[in-house]
Amino acid sequence: MDSSRIGEATARRLAADGHRLLLGARRTVRLDRIVTEITAAGGTAAARRLDVTEAADVQDFVAAAAERYGRVDVIVNNAGVMPLSPLEALRTEEWNRTIDVNVRGVLHGIAAALPVMRAQGGGHVVNIASVGAHEVSPTAAVYCATKFAVRAISEGLRQESAGDVRVTLVSPGVTESELADGIADPAARAAMRMYRAVALPASAIADAVAYAISQPPEVDVNEIVVRPAASVQ
């Protein structure tokens, strides 16, 4: 997960539904607060620092979940960054960071969880993408490319899974989150403020994740797109 709004809302919803959680993100102070509040409400949760760009870190994270709970039934790959800018700005370091987190991070999660799920006879991979997996807008070419990639990876995994591992892609429209806080390009940042004037609560995405994983084993909810009702994008 990430420890920002969608990740936090998803953790709280799944804990309330009775799932036992291991939360991972780079910001451990925030994670610890979430875990404390979940356990105080009667849920089961623990936290571990996680950098999804490091394959070994993700492997250790999934191994820790399996050791703690005996199984890994669901992994939610939610970490993401969105440093928008026109391509001509040549912010190549931002491009590489976006690819590292948004694409490699998902692949690292799959690589860590899939062998565990295969060995135990099943599991569920949930990848959080974006409406940017379905459309491209100015300043968002690299970001959208990463989300198109997550969509393609998810569909490929679904086709290869032969029914034992379920795969869900959740694509949020404009949602309350901290993604836009990392936009350094002034024009892109101003445009995103206008674009995000109408936003979903993070709980709407958490509800979509909970719906997908609550289905019976023979039902595989493959794609969910969630937009504000007033959105025209």
Taking all residues of the chain, what is their mean pLDDT, rounded to a whole number? 91
Q: CB neighbours (10 Å) of residue 49? A: 12
User: What proportion of the chain, given as a percentage, has pLDDT over 70?
Assistant: 88
Query: Does residue 107 carry a pLDDT above 80?
Result: yes
Query: Does residue 55 carry a pLDDT above 60?
Result: yes
Return the amino acid letter for 101. Answer: V
Contact 22, 68 (CB under 8 A): yes
Tokens of 177: 């989150």
Contact 151, 195 (CB under 8 A): no
Query: Does residue 19 carry a pLDDT above 80?
Result: yes
Q: In residues, how long is the chain?
A: 233
Quote the pLDDT of residue 199.
79
Tens digits of residue pLDDT in 153-205: 999 999 999 789 999 999 999 887 555 555 665 655 555 555 555 679 999 99
Q: Is 211 a catalytic residue?
A: no
Q: Alpha helix locations (H) across 50-162? A: 55-69, 92-99, 105-120, 141-160
Report the alpha-carbon distance of residue 94 to residue 87 in Å, rounded: 11
Contact 185, 140 (CB under 8 A): no
Task: Give the pTM.
Answer: 0.90
User: What proportion of the chain, given as a percentage, has pLDDT over 90?
Assistant: 79
First to last CA, the chain: 26
Contact 76, 126 (CB under 8 A): yes
Catalytic residue among 69, 143, 195, 211: 143
CA distances from 127 to 23, 39, 138, 188 (A): 15, 25, 24, 26
Tokens of 73: 């039934």
Q: Give phi and psi for 151, each to the nearest 5.
A: -65, -45
Query: Which secondary structure element, helix H or strand E, spans residue 87, and what is its range?
Result: none
CA distances from 229 to 3, 87, 113, 180, 193 (A): 26, 31, 35, 21, 18
